[in-house]
Amino acid sequence: MIRWRLYDPKTDLEAVCVLHLEMERRVGRTLPLPDLMEEPILATIVAERDGKIIYALFLEAEMCAIGNEVVPYEDFIEGEAYLVNLCHRLRIRMARAFVPKTLLNAPEEKPSAIQRTLEAARFTRDNDSLAMFYRFFPIEGS
């Protein structure tokens, strides 16, 4: 039986680091492990079975974009600098961009404006090795 509880860095850090190293080996690349008790991490929980930590989950802030127009990179530079500075101040470690594949190819199979803008902003395309899953959590009263 698995028991979930809040992460305690004094007793759980070593086990979580071992899990992290095992996951990196399985994935085949280095994955950043933040301080699980510091911003922008909002909460961390661990799963125990027979007194051994077998899993950990952490909740981190996310940034989303809203809009139907493509903002050319030349015009995006100021906003990008503002967001990068804000991310540094908030200690946000990573920006991810999930773009539906239908928006990535313009006519004639050329990269779309959004793809060119993301590449110019130094985002790296992950060659479809990651699958995006998402869930919206409804907020009461909205």
pLDDT for 71-90, tens place per residue? 777 887 888 888 888 888 88
Q: Say yes or no to pLDDT of 53 above 70.
A: yes
Q: How confident is the model at residue 29 (pLDDT cuts 50, 70, 90)?
A: confident
- The owner of tokens 């779309």 is 112
Counting Cα atoms < 13 Å in the Cβ hemisphere of 119 gives: 10
More confident residue, 129 or 35: 35
For residue 6, which phi and psi values (nearest 5 degrees)?
-65, 145
pTM (2 decimals)? 0.68
pLDDT tens figures, 96-111:
777 777 777 677 777 8
